[in-house]
């Protein structure tokens, strides 16, 4: 844990609000953060790192205070607009070894590794993009390390530096706009630079073992291979052909004969529990008790009692516990979430979700209530997770109904409907159906100033067969991202509809977060407590459906 003194001197209210988000993130990352207004207080700090966020000109006392604390061996990071604000502080500017020039207007900035980045950018997926205003740099002293750069007119300019000597002073000239300062990406940059200047090493490689190499195994395998800091060490599966499939991506992995053998493997520091849901709690607890970090497939487990036991065991063992909620990063969901969170459609009051078609359920454990928990737990593991991620208010009660009318050879319900009522009156609905001959939209978010629709797309993959004829593979609706449109009243009684385009989903986002968390303590988007909330709602919905749809209160 790094003790961090954050010195604020911010005139812009939006900067102060964004700084609060940054502090919350850094505390989640394990830093002990003390926040103080003004720079004079740093003279008395006993922190190991001083971080400054200043957007007004320095006075002599502020400059003297920072130079004094740096002179006694405390590392200093001048972040956000601080370097520009400190332009008049000649001695401090000299100490940084960096001379800033004019500040560019706010625009999309592509941040790239500098010549001295080392592992600072090891778990990035491509370049980092921020909407920011940053200063061009005229001069950099020979003994300054350039950690990050941004390009302007074909010249790479430093945006993050560190100079070591009698004092260690780093600069991060990004974060000058509130929009940039409030992002998780910016918080991650600050976190990594703080660790760099406080001499924390983030080079450890974590050996991973997969328990149950089923349909999702190849996805984990490919992600682990692509992410620095993770290595697939072993796989345990009862079917030799699955182990052979795993070796096509990771030839050097070991095959564990049993789950117990996998847990005894000293080279495996993290276990991915990819067994059927009714065994998630058992294997997760055994792995945690063996000293392993654990990633468990969704659903987390089947009951809140199991979730509580798993969370308690992870805390007691001081090990990571996470649920692989991979669809949090689906491109269409990210687009929907961005519109809702922006306030563009006003206050959200109703959110409807749907998945299904008319067709026989799979003949596997997914359709067996005793193993999967039932239909509400199956696709609900994604859809209810979306609902609870999108709507932060506490859940007050849940009700659900199910139908069993057509597919009597499996035990899952044919059709399920879950209604979730939040504090403040917001309501969300999840429908999963295997007897729906017509499809509802994937998502329908209604707000006080507009709506967002996510409509299913019917797509085909075109190819040639063995003799050259057209081969058309029609994808199921769930295999294509939804078409997202924003609907707004046009002021004359009609509605304008804007079709959204959105970028491709980020690459290996969960595994990159996981590797960063294991290396440096950076917080993850998916928390065990959030995953427990999913289970609480799904468990309540299942009880409600058994009892004819009665409301089941959520105590919170």
Query: CB–CB of 108/185 below 8 Å?
Result: no
pLDDT of 12 reads 84
Is 355 part of any domain?
yes
- Is the CA virtual torsion 220, 224, 229, 231 positive or negative? positive
* pLDDT for res 139: 82
Burial class (CB in 10 A: 0-12, 13-18, 19+), 147: buried
Do 190 and 226 share a structural domain?
A: no
CA atoms within 13 A of residue 34's CA, in its CB half-sphere: 16
Asked whether the predicted pLDDT for residue 224 surpasses 70, the reply is yes
* Same domain, residue pair 282 and 372: no
Nearest C-alpha neighbor of 274 from the set 351, 340, 204, 326: 326
pTM score: 0.91
Do 342 and 409 have their domain in common? yes
The Cα 109–Cα 63 span in angstroms is 29
Query: Diameter of the chain by CA atoms?
Result: 82
pLDDT, residue 389, reads 97
Instruction: Tell me: do 410 and 547 sit in the same domain.
Output: yes
Within-domain flag for 515? no
- Residue 556's pLDDT band (cuts 50, 70, 90): low
Q: How far apart are CA 546 and CA 401, in angstroms?
A: 8
Higher pLDDT, 503 or 317: 317
Q: Give the position of tokens 């849940």.
A: 398
Task: Name the band, by pLDDT with cuts 50, 70 and 90, for residue 88.
Answer: confident
Say whether both 549 and 447 belong to one domain.
yes
Note the pLDDT of residue 199. Answer: 78
User: In the structure encoding, which two tokens stand for residue 123, read together?
Assistant: 């778990």
Percent of the chain with pLDDT over 70: 99
Q: Pick the more confident residue, 204 or 104.
A: 104
Do 133 and 103 form a contact (C-beta atoms < 8 A)?
Answer: yes
Which of 151, 177, 197 represents a domain boundary (last residue)? Answer: 197
- Tokens coding 317: 């063992």
Residue 301 lies inside a defined structural domain of this protein:
yes
The stretch 128-143 carries a mean pLDDT of 90
526 occurs within a structural domain: no
Report which of residues 166 and 422 the model is more confident about. Answer: 422
Question: What pLDDT was estimated at residue 297?
Answer: 97
pLDDT tens-place string over residues 150-163:
999 999 999 999 99
3-state secondary structure of 213: coil
- The distance from CA 236 to its chain's CA centroid, rounded to whole angstroms, is 28
The enclosing domain of 295 has a CATH number of 3.40.50.720
pLDDT at 150: 95
Q: How far apart are CA 268 and CA 401, in angstroms?
A: 43
Query: Do 92 and 131 lie in a common domain?
Result: yes
Task: Kindly state whether residues 290 and 398 are assigned to the same domain.
Answer: no
245-266 average pLDDT score: 95
Confidence tier at 407 by pLDDT (50, 70, 90): very high
pLDDT at residue 207, as a whole number: 97
How many domains, the chain?
A: 3
Q: How confident is the model at residue 455 (pLDDT cuts 50, 70, 90)?
A: very high
Helix or strand or coil: residue 26?
A: helix
269 with 149, same domain? no
Average pLDDT over residues 229-258: 94
Would 16 be classed as within a structural domain? yes
**How far apart (Å, rounded) are the C-alpha atoms in residues 149 and 416?**
52
Co-location of 268 and 362 in the same domain: no
- Domain match, 505 and 372 both: yes
In this predicted model, which residue has the larger pLDDT, 445 or 477? 445
Cα–Cα distance for residue pair 182/184, rounded to 1 Å: 7
Q: Does 257 map to a domain?
A: yes
What does the DSSP assignment read for 39-65? SGGGGG---SEEEEEE-S---HHHHHH
**CATH of residue 475:** 3.30.360.10
Q: Kindly indicate the confidence band of residue 353, based on its pLDDT and cuts at 50, 70 and 90.
A: very high
CA 296, CA 281: separation in Å to the nearest integer? Answer: 9
Give residue-wise pLDDT tens across range 36-59. 998 888 888 999 999 999 988 888
Distances (CA, A) of 39 to 45, 51, 76, 177, 182: 11, 10, 12, 21, 22
**pLDDT, tens digit, for every residue of 91-103?**
888 899 988 888 9
Domain end (from 324, 352, 379) = 324
Domain that holds residue 413: 328-510+534-553
The strand pairing partners of 94, in sequence order, are: none
If one compares 14 and 389, the residue with the highest pLDDT of the two is 389
User: Same domain, yes or no, for 255 and 399?
Assistant: no
Report CA Rg, the chain.
26
Indicate if 242 and 114 belong to the same structural domain.
no
Q: DSSP labels for 502-541?
A: -PPPPSSHHHHHHHHHHHH-PPPSS-HHHHHHHHHHHHHH
Residue 356's pLDDT is 94
Q: Is residue 519 in a domain? A: no
């Amino acid at each position: 844990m790094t003790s961090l003194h954050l010195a604020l001197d911010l005139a812009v209210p939006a900067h102060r609000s964004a700084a609060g988000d940054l502090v919350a993130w850094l505390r989640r990352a394990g830093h002990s953060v003390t926040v103080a207004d003004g720079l004079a207080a740093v003279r008395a700090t006993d922190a190991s790192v001083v971080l400054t966020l200043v957007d007004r000109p320095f006075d002599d006392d502020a400059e003297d205070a920072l130079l004094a604390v740096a002179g006694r061996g405390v590392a200093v990071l001048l972040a956000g607009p601080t370097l520009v604000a400190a332009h008049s502080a000649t001695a401090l500017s000299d100490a940084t070894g960096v001379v800033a020039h004019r500040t560019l207007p706010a625009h999309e900035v592509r941040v790239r590794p500098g010549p001295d980045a080392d592992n600072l950018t090891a778990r990035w997926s491509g370049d980092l993009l921020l909407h920011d205003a940053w200063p061009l740099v005229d001069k950099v002293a020979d003994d300054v390390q350039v950690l990050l750069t941004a390009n302007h007119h074909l010249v790479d300019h430093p945006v993050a530096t560190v100079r070591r000597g009698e004092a260690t002073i780093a600069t991060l000239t990004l974060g000058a706009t509130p929009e940039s300062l409030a992002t998780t990406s910016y918080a991650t940059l600050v976190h990594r630079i703080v660790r760099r200047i406080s001499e924390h090493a983030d080079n450890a490689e974590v050996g991973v073992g997969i328990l149950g190499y089923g349909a999702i195994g190849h996805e984990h395998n490919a992600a682990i291979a692509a992410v620095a800091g993770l290595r697939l060490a072993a796989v345990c599966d009862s079917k030799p052909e699955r182990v052979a499939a795993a070796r096509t991506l990771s030839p050097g992995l070991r095959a564990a004969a049993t789950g117990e053998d996998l847990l005894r493997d000293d080279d495996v520091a993290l276990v991915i529990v990819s067994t059927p849901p009714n065994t998630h709690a058992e294997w997760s607890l055994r792995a945690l008790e063996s000293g392993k970090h654990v990633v468990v497939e969704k659903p987390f487990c089947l009951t809140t009692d199991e979730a509580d036991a798993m969370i308690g065991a992870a805390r007691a063992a001081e090990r990571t516990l996470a649920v692989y909620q991979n669809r949090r990063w689906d491109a269409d969901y990210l687009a929907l979430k961005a519109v809702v969170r922006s306030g563009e459609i006003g206050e959200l009051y109703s959110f409807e979700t749907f998945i299904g078609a008319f067709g026989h359920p799979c003949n596997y454990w997914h359709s067996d209530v005793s193993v999967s928990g039932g239909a509400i737990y199956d696709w609900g593991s994604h859809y209810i997770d979306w609902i609870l991620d999108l709507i932060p208010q506490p859940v007050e009660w849940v009700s659900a109904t199910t139908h069993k009318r057509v597919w009597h050879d499996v035990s899952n319900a044919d059709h399920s409907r879950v209604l979730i009522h939040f504090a403040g009156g917001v309501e969300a609905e999840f429908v999963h159906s295997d007897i729906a001959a017509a499809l509802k939209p994937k998502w329908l978010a209604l707000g006080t100033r507009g709506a967002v629709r996510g409509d299913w797309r019917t797509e085909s993959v075109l190819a040639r067969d063995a003799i050259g004829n057209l081969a058309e593979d029609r994808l199921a609706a769930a295999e294509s991202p939804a078409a997202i449109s924003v609907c707004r009243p046009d002021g004359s009684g009609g509605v304008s509809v804007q079709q959204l385009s959105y970028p491709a989903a980020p690459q290996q986002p969960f595994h990159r977060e996981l590797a960063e968390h294991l290396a440096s303590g950076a917080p993850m988007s998916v928390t065990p407590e959030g995953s427990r909330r999913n289970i609480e709602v799904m468990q309540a919905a299942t009880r409600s459906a058994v009892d004819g749809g009665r409301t089941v209160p959520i105590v919170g």
